[in-house]
Structure 1
């Protein structure tokens, strides 16, 4: 349903009274004429007498000639609207408004449709419809329209709008958007502090966001306010919610309580099981045993079975088959994960729990960080549900335990190469190799009865050569099925030749390698080379363009080659243009590279080509994001030109989609001639760290390259790697660590003559000194950096330092100089066509404008910066800008808006920016809440901030102590 329509006469009352005829704006007339038009519009077509209209316009103070005035107003309105709309008959009046021509009517229809959608559990649609209704408001309803009728309608429409907002937030909470609505609810409760329903929603949102103390503080604040203002206690629903929060009731984490007056919302039902194989064979007794255990689960019992066995025994195939057999016994869903227990990097339970919780309907913002908290939330979310969890390829019991449901009615099925004798309560099932009969059945189903019937003995020999391992049999049979000119005996001869098989064919993992050897032996030489070399890269997958670089082939030829490997089942196509090895196949490919690649240097050359591709392409992205930046002129040269992007969006898409692969390549490229390019790759992908999505991986990779460079005695690489690491520490708020690293950077840079490092180190050290209130030190560092960048002709570098100098002058009270420096920085960036870095200049200018009291200009400047940061996916700086907007609002005596912006900053700075920045935001949030009279919640924020500052030994601790002392005498009674 769209509004406004493009034809006819239409009216708006959800905001100032407005009238249109087609695209033409029609004047509503005088104030009294607008009041009369309002009275007719909101009667929704019903007739009104002249006396009723007089009452609507003047109430008890009606003039003597009121009826005459009404007639005059009617005539003017009829003339303005045109014929047929305002009808007069026998002293009665009516306004004929067409369907969809009044915004209020459209909003009512949307709200009713939303209720119907919610009644059938279509929560996303219901929420969207409410949002569309609220979007029709354009400020205060009937703004400026006089008269008692308009005033009464204004109150009614505002109350209805608030009810819609409450319904919308209610649905947001049901959808798991807890952290996102805290900001909105903070502003709403500040505007309507006695509206208990809003307070309930805020308490629940805070609790689900892991902010229990603040949730209880909200109750204390509203309880005190109700007593002071109205002399009453909170209503029952609010008291019950406080009790549940005090008890940490798990039900609050996944469903609204009936006392909160919400309707039921059906949780998502994940269906993640891989497809079962159509030719599943044998294992009848084990299938029956597992099916009986899982199907017999009762509401009070957790069924737990662990399926163990050697690699290639068919554990996953069997487990998936059994899971599909019993899936109807688990109507609330099935979860699946490959725990990668056989690989070098097993899946972390913390990450798996995050994926599971998202699949069960929780938003990222409501998922806690620690393993213990995630496990507890996971168990609480499964409470009362019947869900089957398939944990495939587990390494050990310790990896599995946090992933087990804690509730009756659920079941877990685990596969592992290790017998999990230390997994309490598990039904252990050992899976051995197939019997000859079962192996022959599987082989025949794949190859075909006709081809096997005349060569039964040869087929049994093939099965025996495969060690009766299901995976080996399946791959061997598939290869034969794809080679119509081969006989079964041909395959038997190839397997009988021990030179074509690994000696370890009959034992453990080596049986799987023997099967891979068979598939590898069928490859043409150019396929085998690709198989070996592509397995060298550490990334989780590889793009078509990156693979072309590794193989030194055109993209089209590479795609044909990779698709042929997909056909052999040695490579997986995970998405168009992206390919992946199974972990075991990757290990086998690398073993083949060690054994077969000639000349041996080809392996290093392949990795060099991949590194060149990533570095050259990342440098192009860096240039697009930072026009005029000269850093790219000082990078190690590459033989690859890199990809060319049509626009900035495409460049950013590439950077963030390849983030893990880029960092993995940098980490493994630490030998010989690759090291310097690996370090430079980190330098030009710093946006990955600032985005927050890759912060931890970026930091650990920087540390590894630092250590390698120092061990190899490469001073140039050491200086650059140490600087990248120091910058990562700065983003996390670890300023003492930056200073400790600075000497290491400077010594290496001076010894190698790397001026780029020295310039940027000075800028970084100045930033740290600024954050630590060492303003004179900061100024000295910045002046050095400014001279260096100007001497080098580096305009972006110069603009960056001017930003920072502006902040120093601001800290020293020289607002005039601070303003001119910030404006000069903005001008330089704008002249270069800068995007994200230009936003940093606007950010700095916004700080100065805030200090000099030009709040409206500051707000506009910071909003410009925030929009640019958001488009550039710079989550850290977007969050920081919301923090600065909160400061502007606070200085402008707008505490409600300040609290909302601070909450948005907190949501964005989760897991990025470090605890120091979070403490700064909590300080401002506390100030805003205190100004709103929410003293208890304010003190909770300040106490959290003080704990952080104390741990970091930051100078801000004294400010927090003073704030807490100032409010210590105010009433902060504990909630009963």
Structure 2
């Protein structure tokens, strides 16, 4: 803990080759694997097809430009029990992808397939690798501030679970690998936070991370140190006791030596633990552009009238008072899915960033506005020491920070209008999308939308996109019964 933190070794990713200068590639292809499997040509989103078709695209992108045989791809997509027409289906998926991608990108070779000739930075995974490599170099030169910033940018490229919704054993293996890599990068960034004296700010994030990954001892070690440096020695020791009990109950093992040693150093009040070895970094003068939207659903279906209506509202914010749109409906009707989909489509109109929070309005303990404002202010680049304590002061600072910026705020699962009022930007050029189970009739100036269940045709279309046309075509009545049993939710 006292030495300079190391950035973990990153996985290899596909080789990215520079395009021939004599060939114009405008706009260029881009691919995303750190979330849903997606493809773009410039800013245009491309259809990646059914789940199995996305699984094929992901498998080829992860092959580092090497050819994957048909047998390898069938095993990757279906495992030990492929369908009888697996080879024909594989060829169909490849043919459909070839029509979507640029000519010459998906090539057939030696009875298999490969993706070649992508421009540099075309894959989000390769961008993360480059940023992590730069962070390692910055660490070696002693510039922890820059290394920490690079890792923060790398982690921001994750858009939810990697390869989200992609079926097959190969995708599952890669999901596990990429999640482990993300956690290693996150641990390194948190380590740098503590080395630079940001222990108070780190406590809340580490508390949430240890709750999500209770058996990950490195995160618990970092939480113990952050608590100790924040003057919370008893809580730091309680984390150790809880970890020891959990490991004994779940795995029948003791904490690793590093964790036990830290506990003993805390008990001794070891003076070397008290202060970081590197001074706190000066606040960055570069405006922070948050990108907090959850991943959109690749199989989004229907709601075209609402998508168009909300899109028009968001597109008209420039030069006018902030736009507020509130979606109301019963649980499971698709409010969040619609709002996230619309927000992603409107990102270009909000170049200064997008903020997101689940307000947990339907739960027993809804999120407190002052807590949300604290996280929003940090996401917008405000130092923790500059964030006031009271709700009124935080709301005022929040509006000041957003002045002159064009930011989209998505407030999901709101309890009522009183909860969201302090979270509204209040300045022109910004917009807010709200989802709630209650109709926000007392929210002044809000554009209200009531969302009902999907129509039978929309529900069946969504079901078809998820399970595939072949399955629904052969069992249409069963598919109709299935979506009806779900209440068309």
Asked whether the two chains share a fold, i.e. TM above 0.5, the reply is yes
Matching of residues 424-443 of structure 1 within 5 Å: none
Rounded to whole Å, the distance in 2 between the matches of 1:177 and 1:874 is: 14
In 1, Cα distance between equivalents of 2:260 and 2:245: 13
1:687-726 mapped onto 2 (5 Å cutoff): none
Other-structure match for 2:114: 94
Q: Do the aligned residues in 2 keep the contact of 1:226 with 1:234 (CA within 8 Å)? A: yes
Give yes or no for the alignment of 1:41 onto 2:41: no
Once the two structures are superposed, the pairs formed by residues 415-814 of structure 1 within 5 Å of their partners are none
In 1, Cα distance between the equivalents of 2:85 and 2:363? Answer: 52
Task: Note closer, same or farther for the CA distance 1:209–1:154 as it changes in structure 2 (3 Å cut).
Answer: same
C-alpha spacing 1:34/1:235, structure 2 compared with 1 (3 Å): same
Task: Note if 1:78 corresponds to 2:98.
Answer: yes
How far is 1:98 from its partner?
Answer: 2.3
TM-score with structure 1 length normalisation? 0.28
The corresponding residue for 2:42 is 22
Q: Counterpart of 1:312?
A: none
Report whether the alignment pairs 1:54 with 2:86: no
Q: Does 1:251 align with 2:272?
A: yes
Deviations 1:424-446 (A, max 9, x none): xxxxxxxxxxxxxxxxxxxxxxx
Q: 2:89 aligns with which of 69, 72, 92?
A: 69
Deviations 1:103-160 (A, max 9, x none): 0011011111111110111111111110110010111111111111111111111110
Q: Does 1:207 align with 2:228?
A: yes
Q: Is the 8 A contact 2:55 2:167 kept in 1?
A: yes
Distance 1:241 1:126 in 2: 25
Distance (Å, rounded) in 2 between the aligned partners of 1:52 and 1:65: 15
Cα 1:860/1:39, change in 2 over 3 Å: farther
Cα separation, 2, equivalents of 1:66 and 1:867: 48
- Distance, in Å, in 1 between the alignment partners of 2:131 and 2:236 is 32
Distance 2:192 2:46 in 1: 38
Provide the TM-score with structure 2 as the length reference. Answer: 0.55
Determine the C-alpha separation between the residues in 2 that align with 1:879 and 1:139. 32
Q: Check if 1:104 corresponds to 2:102.
A: no
> Cα–Cα, structure 1 residues 21 and 113, in superposed 2: closer, same or farther, change >3 Å?
same
Taking the aligned partners of 1:154 and 1:130, their CA distance within structure 2 comes to 20
**What are structure 1's unaligned runs of at least 5 residues?**
256-264, 268-360, 365-845, 883-888, 893-976
| Change in 2 beyond 3 A, CA 1:878/1:112 | farther
Cα 1:18/1:212, change in 2 over 3 Å: same
Match of 1:12 in 2: 32
Residue 372 (structure 2) pairs with residue 876 (structure 1): no
Q: 1:244 to 1:115 in 2, by over 3 A?
A: same
CA drift of 1:6 comes to: 8.5
Measured at CA, do residues 94 and 183 of structure 1 come closer, stay the same or move farther in structure 2, by a change above 3 Å? same
* 2:180 matched residue in structure 1: 159
Contact 2:221/2:262 (<8 A) preserved: yes
CA contact (8 A) 1:47 1:93 kept: yes
Query: Which residue in the other structure is 1:141 paired with?
Result: 162
| The one of 137, 144, 148 aligned to 1:116 | 137
| Offset, 1:254 | 3.1
Kept in 1, the 8 Å contact 2:370–2:394? The answer is no
| 1:846-885 paired onto structure 2 within 5 Å | 863=372, 875-878=388-391
Instruction: Report SS of the residue matched to 1:10.
Output: strand
Find the aligned partners of 2:198 and 2:55 in 1 and give their Cα distance. 41
CA contact (8 A) 1:862 1:881 kept: no
Q: Corresponding residue for 2:16?
A: none
- Kept in 2, the 8 Å contact 1:178–1:363? The answer is no
Residues 159 and 24 of structure 1: is their aligned pair in 2 closer, same or farther, counting only changes over 3 Å? same
RMSD value, Cα: 3.2
Write 1 or 2 for the structure with the bigger share of helix: 1
CA–CA distance in structure 1, aligned partners of residues 275 and 238 of structure 2: 22
Q: Is this contact kept in 1: 2:31–2:123, CA < 8 A?
A: yes
Flag structure 2 segments of 5+ consecutive residues without an equivalent.
1-24, 283-358, 396-411, 416-489
Asked whether 1:173 is paired with 2:194, we answer yes
Q: Tell me by how many angstroms 1:90 deviates.
A: 2.6
Q: CA–CA distance in 2 between the matches of 1:254 and 1:120?
A: 21
Deviations 1:735-787 (A, max 9, x none): xxxxxxxxxxxxxxxxxxxxxxxxxxxxxxxxxxxxxxxxxxxxxxxxxxxxx
Residues of 2 paired with 1:234 and 1:213: CA distance? 18
Counterpart Cα distance in 2 of 1:879 and 1:239: 43
Q: Distance in 2 between matches of 1:866 and 1:181?
A: 12
SS at match of 1:61: coil
Mapping of 1:296-375 within 5 angstroms? 361=279
Structure 1 position 224 matched with structure 2 position 245: yes
Q: Indicate the residue corresponding to 1:299 in structure 2.
A: none
1:46–1:866: structure 2 CA closer, same or farther, 3 Å change rule?
Answer: closer
Shift of 1:862: 7.3
Instruction: Tell me by how many angstroms 1:860 deviates.
Output: 7.4
Note if contact 2:145-2:281 (Cα within 8 Å) is conserved in structure 1. no
Deviations 1:8-58 (A, max 9, x none): 001000111110011111000111100100100111211100000001001
Q: What is residue 275 of structure 1 aligned with on the other side?
A: none
Q: Deviations over 1:158-200 (max 9, x none)?
A: 1100000000000011111111100110000000011000010
Residues 232-277 of structure 1 show CA distances to partners (whole Å, capped at 9, x for unaligned) of 000111011111111000111235xxxxxxxxx6x4xxxxxxxxxx
In structure 2, how many angstroms separate the alpha carbons of the residues matched to 1:116 and 1:865? 32
CA gap 1:94/1:853 in 2 versus in 1, 3 angstroms: closer
1:71 positional shift: 1.2
- Counterpart check, 1:235 vs 2:259: no
